[in-house]
Amino acid sequence: MKVAIINFSGNVGKTTVARHLLLPRIKDAELISVESLNAGEGEGQAMRGRQFGELQEYLQTIDNAVVDIGASNVEELLELMQKYRGSHEDFDVFVVPTVPALKQQQDTIATLIELARLGVPRPKVRLLFNMIHSAADLPAHFDLVRGFLKAKPIATENAACHLSANEVYGRIRGSNTDLATLARDTTDYKALIVKTKDTAERLALAQKLATRRLASGVVPELDACFAALGLGSGTATDMMPLPAQAK
């Protein structure tokens, strides 16, 4: 299974979806960040044809991949996909996260149009509603993109494929922490807090406890969203080996 996460917009949750929704639930998947292909060559450099060629070749050598396509590279990547005719076939699915902000919905529509222009068939393009506040508000908050899809059904939308706004993503951002592992951590933080005299240390433990509580709340939602994407039957809980307990 090779999944691309794509949107012309930044800040729609591409990296979050790649790391925390998809990577832990697709067995043996490798995370490829297209932004990182430019590492060492300066900020925001466009992806070159050679690099795209390398990405395509590399994708042939692995079975499972989650490819996070940074916003600065999307236009270039789509152009290259047009040039290397049929290269979009390397991906089984394109996940397009979107958020309620108007600009992001417009960019989402532009992304969907571009994918259709490349010839990516509708079942392979899945919309993911991110940063929602309640399932009941979902239809109203995404009426622009949903209205567009009603008129032009070029992507698959499923209201169950959503993630709520949750501060846990911000809390663990930049760390390699996996939410399912975090949720399973059985450290007795309360007991540790009682034993600790140092205020800063207490605060650090309290933050860990809060993050674990948030993680426990969010894992079932991630599992449900993954199931709604219809990529496979696994959940993070039954795919990830239990880690050694952190004490």
Ligand X SMILES: Nc1ncnc2c1ncn2[C@@H]1O[C@H](COP(=O)(O)OP(=O)(O)O)[C@@H](O)[C@H]1O
Considering only 14-22, 87-95, 115-123, 206-214, which stretch makes contact with ligand X by CB under 6 A? 14-22
Considering only 55-63, 73-81, 161-169, 228-236, which stretch makes contact with ligand X by CB under 6 A? 161-169
- 200-225: b (≥16 Cβ within 10 Å) or e: eebeebeebbebbebbbebbeebbeb
The neighbour count for residue 235, using CB atoms within 10 Å, is: 18
Binding marks (x or -) toward ligand X, 68..97, rule CB under 6 A?
A: ---x--------------------------
Is 10 an interacting residue with respect to ligand X (CB under 6 A)? yes
By rule CB under 6 A, what count of residues binds ligand X?
A: 16
Cβ closer to ligand X: 173 or 190?
173
Strands 30-33 and 125-132: unpaired
Is 111 an interacting residue with respect to ligand X (CB under 6 A)? no
Considering only 57-65, 86-94, 167-175, 209-217, which stretch makes contact with ligand X by CB under 6 A? 167-175
Q: Which does 181 bind (CB under 5 to 8 A by kind): ligand X, Mg ion, none?
A: none
Q: 142 exposed, middle or buried (CB, 10 Å; 0-12, 13-18, 19+)?
A: buried
Is 15 an interacting residue with respect to Mg ion (CB under 5 A)? yes
Cβ closer to Mg ion: 14 or 208?
14
For residue 211, give the amino acid letter: T
CA distance 223 to 227: 6
Whose CA is closest to 15, among 42, 45, 36, 43? 36
